[in-house]
Amino acid sequence: MSQQHHTIQLVRRASAQAVAAAAAEQQRWPVDAVAALFELPFNDLLWRAQQTHREYFDANEVQRSTLLSIKTGGCPEDCGYCPQSVHYDTGVEAGKLMDVQVVVDAAKAAVNAGATRFCMGAAWREPKDRDVEKVAVLVKEVKALGLETCCTLGMLSKPQAQTLREAGLDYYNHNLDTAPEAYGRIITTRDYQERLDTLANVREAGMSVCCGGIVGMGESRRERAGLVAQLANMDPYPESVPINELVQVEGTPLHGTDQLDPLEFVRTIAVARITMPKARVRLSAGRQEMSEAVQALCFLAGANSIFYGEKLLTTGNPDVARDEALFEKLGLKAG
């Protein structure tokens, strides 16, 4: 190699490093900054979260999404929290993809109960193309009822994402679940990058992204900060951010994990709100086990969306009458 060529190579390498360093610096939310939010005195954290919340949203308005498991159980993945994995004996029976009419009836019931978004979940690692064609029909039917549509079907290729978008799908839910460094303790059958790839395919197809995670899986506070940083540094960050508290299901490896302090859950919501000011932050799974007081703190911390209806996918959720009563007590209105 000539001296000149060698010098050019060195300059190129140095500038690539500088670009990478600059990109890292430009991260909106370095993990340290997110971790510092977690460390704030509780009242200061909630004050900041509430201020941010009021900049972009009506603080007394909470959006309601209804979930339906359109294909339950028998999933080949080994997600350590999930009752639908074939790897664990949880009593969840594997079913087939639901018929169109059953889904339409459930969506009509959701409209009547006051939901504005309908999310269809399937226990797949990734759908086959012919599954996507069938789900596209469901999306069209649900959208025709005036609902916003959301699906969570596992990993998605670019053409599959495009097909769903063309059918009218508004949101695709695909969670990062936890921080990159904690991920391998929870799931071994797919990696973090595969999740990011699906999210990129969803974005490219022009859909809104619904992406969050689960806390209470034995992770450290630093790891919770790591999850929020991953979400907040996406460009753009997700429009919808579900924060789930682990629902412990007997038979799953994470059953028996130490319970997370409820105030730490509230902190996680507040930190998500501050770092992703325009997102819908959803107080997601785990509400059935939460007191009304903790839920009220979550709304104060900036949560402005819930899952609404008696069931999540396979586990319970507060019934509609109980949620109506809570909304009434807190003076919350549907968004």
Positions marked catalytic: 75, 79, 82, 119, 150, 210, 282
β-bridge mates for residue 71, sequence order? 122
Sign of the four-CA dihedral 48, 53, 58, 62:
negative
Amino acid, single-letter form, for residue 167: A
Report 176-235 residues binding ligand SAM (CB under 6 A). 177, 214
Residue 19-58 contact track with ligand SAM, rule CB under 6 A, x = bound: ----------------------------------------
∠ at Cα 296 (294, 298), nearest 5°? 70
Evaluate whether 246 touches 286 at the Cβ level (below 8 Å): yes
Report 257-296 residues binding ligand SAM (CB under 6 A). 285
Rule CB under 6 A: say whether 83 interacts with ligand DTB: yes
β-bridge mates for residue 65, sequence order? 117, 307
How many Cα atoms sit within 13 Å of 202 on the Cβ side? 29
Pick from 73, 127, 154, 212: which binds ligand DTB (CB under 6 A)? 212
Q: Exposure pattern of 305-326 as b/e (b: 16+ CB <10 Å)?
A: bbbbbeebbbeebbebeebeeb
Pick from 31, 232, 272, 285: which binds ligand DTB (CB under 6 A)? 285
Task: Quote the least distance from Cβ 160 to ligand SAM, whole Å.
Answer: 13
Instruction: Give the range of 13-21, 137-145, 169-177, 263-271 binding ligand SAM by CB under 6 A.
Output: 169-177
Q: Which residue has the tokens 């999540």?
A: 312
Rule CB under 6 A: say whether 216 interacts with ligand DTB: no
Task: Quote the least distance from Cβ 242 to ligand DTB, whole Å.
Answer: 3
Number of other CB atoms surrounding residue 333 within 10 Å: 10
- When computed from its CA atoms, the radius of gyration of the chain, rounded to whole angstroms, is 21
How many Cα atoms sit within 13 Å of 219 on the Cβ side? 29
Q: With respect to ligand DTB, which residue has the nearer C-beta, 46 or 122?
A: 122
**Residue 66 interaction partner, one of ligand DTB, ligand SAM, ligand SF4, none, beta carbon < 5-8 Å per kind:** none
Rule CB under 6 A: say whether 244 interacts with ligand DTB: yes
Decide the pairing of beta strands 61-71 and 305-307. Answer: parallel
**Site residues (CB under 6 A) for ligand DTB?**
67, 83, 121, 152, 173, 175, 212, 242, 244, 247, 284-285, 312-315
**Site residues (CB under 6 A) for ligand SAM?**
75, 81-82, 84, 121, 123-124, 152, 154, 174-175, 177, 214, 244, 246-247, 249, 285, 313
